[in-house]
A and B are shown apart, each in its own frame.
Chain A
Amino acid sequence: MPAQIDHAEAASIVYDALVVGSGVSGAIVARSLAERGLRVLVVEAGPGEELSVADYETYLTRFYGAAAKDNNAAYEVNPNAPMPRSPDVRRLQPGHPDSTGYLIQNGPYEMDSTYTRVLGGTTMHWEGKALRMLPEDFQMRSRFGQGRDWPIGYDDLEPYYRKAEFELGVSADVADQTFYGITFPPDYEFPMHGLPKSYLDQLVARDLDGTEIRLEDTTCTLSVRPTAQARNGVPNPAYDGGKGYVPVGAVSTHQVDEGGRCQGNINCVPLCPVQAKYNARKTLAASLQTGRVDILTQTIASRVHVGEDGQISHIDYQAYGSTTSPEHVTGSLRARMYVLAANPVENARLMLASGLPGSNGLVGRNLMDHAYLLTWALMPEIAGTMRGSQCTSGIEDLRAGEFRRRHAAMRVSIHNDGWAWPTGSPYTDLIALVDDANAYGAAVRRGLVDRISRQLMLSFMVELMPEPSNRITVDGRYIDALGNLRPVLSYSLPEYTMDGVAAARRVSRRIFQRLGAEDRTSYDPLDTGYVGHQGEGYIIRGGNHWAGTHIMGESSHDSVVDVHQRSWDHPNLYLVGPGSMPSIGTSNTTLTLAAMSFMTAEHIATELTTRPTVTIGG
């Protein structure tokens, strides 16, 4: 068990901090506070019976046996704490919300992003890209007249990025990651050396490096760069002034020899089979070593209560014994500080379900994600597709520049896993060969090589600005098995983003032309995610990079949390995670939210340890 404590005992303790959610944000806050001598309770809505390899292996076996291998395929269906699943997404009819999946889709755009409700949260299925945001991403309003500025800048967050790179175990080389304003302190080294470029990356780089692309008035010179990844590589002996770095292996309360270097299992999402990829269980396991952290799984924070002084007084929980039965017990948990780290959708959902939309009504609003445009082609030669981690390199050169006044920036990933995401390859290729091409025997073998080993897929991750109308709400008509209100999503893609999508498609054509690759991209108007824009149609996929439902700002009038991710309305409440981000730029959100979690934990610890405790009416 993660902690030798039961609900009755936990309910009898006033913790220093109660953390809702065991994903990367909650785990970092819990570990940081505990290491400063504070007592922390973590509650996780999903299952996670043991913090052990055996528990992890059940996920892997479930994944192997799943006919549909979507990004939550490794995790059991749990009506008590459900999660969005991409196969549940339906094409929406205007004016008709779809409640097929856990997430109610109000439209107009149907979104297939997911998250994972198990111990360790969505880091169990995340891919592991660990990108810093660009300095200019923090100044979108003042630099480009778009979106919002952060109340802090890159330089404020930089020391915490380093902490996050240590905690997540990032493999990268400083020379490869120094671009477009990103700076490191002199002599900085990443914990581990960068992962080698795939053979496919090398073929792309051979012809593409140095190609110039114009976006508005900005000339972008493309190069294929290795991607910083929270995945174990070769430790860098120069790390931390020559002290080196010891990679964190598989999580277990017992000794186990797993979790070394990435083996190239090409399965970062939904599950790294050997735990070479970081997941928040690694941080949770370390937090337990302090002896000051308790973890309760299968425990849903169901309602946040506010006292007359505006402070949070307690949080109600529901604890269920089995994922197959709605039977549960209830109670209340108390702490000096409350930290909601459940992810942007669940944080907003819990606040709204507790009748706490915020004094300015902004809880749940300004929801963001990256809009993904997938483009795919066949390389002129065998490229060895389907090997490595899912992505080893990308193109960073379309992320920065004055063009951001006019349309969204974009980042390109080169996918080692081929067309799996857009077409369902290699399964669809096999079916087409056997059922349609009438191939059997050696012809199937040759056909598979010809169709799969030459695949190139470029994903364009396009930026989205915060819009108040993109939001999570709740609605009494929609409840889960335990009676909790389900999240309702209203989502549209603004012109700024769609102009970026159109530019991305043009760029992809140029890249394929330069490579002599056969462009096989096509978007079916009947498919989910189809969006028309200025006479062209695109399929936009969700990036699973939920952000912005409790946006951070300098004033209580136009934001939900302050720079410390502390609620403006409730001084002992922190809403932690990507929900606080005022912009997401073109970086996957995890490294930034991890850095923010360290910053916030430092603040909470200071508040708890330097402020005298005032006893009222004593």
Chain B
Amino acid sequence: MNCAEFQEVLPDIIESGGNPEEEAHLKSCAVCSDLVQDLRYIADTAKLLLPMRDPSPRVWTGIRGALQREGLVRPLAGTVRFRPQAAAVLSQRRWVRGGSMLAVAALLLFAIGIIWLRNNSTRQPQPAVTARVPAAAPAAAADDDDAQMLNFVQHKSPALLATYRENLESVNAYIRDARRRIEQDPNDMGAHDHLIRAYDEKALLYEMAMARSGE
């Protein structure tokens, strides 16, 4: 089994563990092993959020740290940057759990997508891998999360729904264009950079949505 084949079944491995062949690849490949370790860490950390009314800053710091260690996000600018203000604002509101879950889902999605992308871009000598970008499963998850985010905005600030919808379409178009370019030329590092920035922009949109406190 090579890295490309392994990555195709990665979501299943994260969820339910791999078969002997996949486990063997995991043991022999440091890159895939690191990737799985990171994703499991993020998933485990995310679970901690569910029973809490007010997630500990440690959780956000942990997730952020994992992404930063991977070089997937840039350092924070000020204290409001990463820990969604929603966690503070919403902590006294009855549906904080839904907001936290949505934030976690979004973070997981971005982490998986970006880590996947980064993993692909670091293995450019393997054409079969470099040409591959996050595909069906993450895309479906993205659609679902997008819908949840828009529902969240609609609930909190109906007047801003159109703005968020429009901007979501814009940033998804950015992601699509960057992906398309990478498929055309996997060695175009500028396109890879655009894709990462596009995900950053999408993360910003989710963060801002979470920070809605119009109730």
> Is chain B a partner of chain A in the same complex?
no
